[in-house]
Amino acid sequence: LRVFRQINPGAIAIPLDIHDRRALRRLLRRTGRVGLISITTPCAPFSTAKHGGVPLSEDLRAELLVIAVEEASAAGPDAIVIENVVGVAKSPHWKRAKLALEEAGYFVEHTNVNAMYLGVAQNRNRFIATAVRRGLSTQIRMAAKSLTRKVTRISQVLPNRKTVWHYSRDNRSPCVRSA
């Protein structure tokens, strides 16, 4: 959370077990009116790499997507953004989450886009979904098609940093390149 707070000054960052829905609801009520909620749940259950080898139907982390969406939509923000690996789109968890959003009055769109076109220093496809109150639209599919700015160096995103390294799980190559 320390790094999150440094990167996102003023953002609310509170450690909380999302399975504790009562505590999550209390937190959201205390927060007051929220315009946007961003959801990024663990990607391993939906990843083709299947870290841990647990079947999707038995992986409790996959259920976090549905819980997060249900609680976020109950808070009533104008918009919800969801990010994950592209495999989430074919999961029964996404189908349930999308239905919950639509039943709560949201217009839902999703697309797959390479993260390098979103200003992230990695060449990886990501699932991005937007849910906005009826009457609004994000046109996310059209926006994704128009993206062409390729980020290849961390210095393009963080110009005041000298070098930033993040090694992949196999420890063979850095996911983020040096400045």
**pLDDT for the residue numbered 144:** 57
pLDDT in tens, 110-163: 988 888 777 777 788 899 999 988 766 666 655 555 555 554 555 555 555 544
Residue 45's SS3 state is helix
Q: Cite the DSSP H helix spans in 37-120.
A: 60-75, 92-103
pLDDT in tens, 27-73: 877 877 788 888 888 888 888 776 566 677 788 888 999 999 998 99
The Cβ-side half-sphere exposure at 18, using a 13 Å CA radius, reads 17
Residue 40: how many other CB atoms lie within 10 Å? 12
- Total-model pTM: 0.70
**pLDDT for the residue numbered 153:** 53
User: Residue 173: which pLDDT band, with cuts at 50, 70 and 90?
Assistant: very low
**2 CB contacts (<8 Å, ≥6 apart)?**
none
**pLDDT for the residue numbered 138:** 63
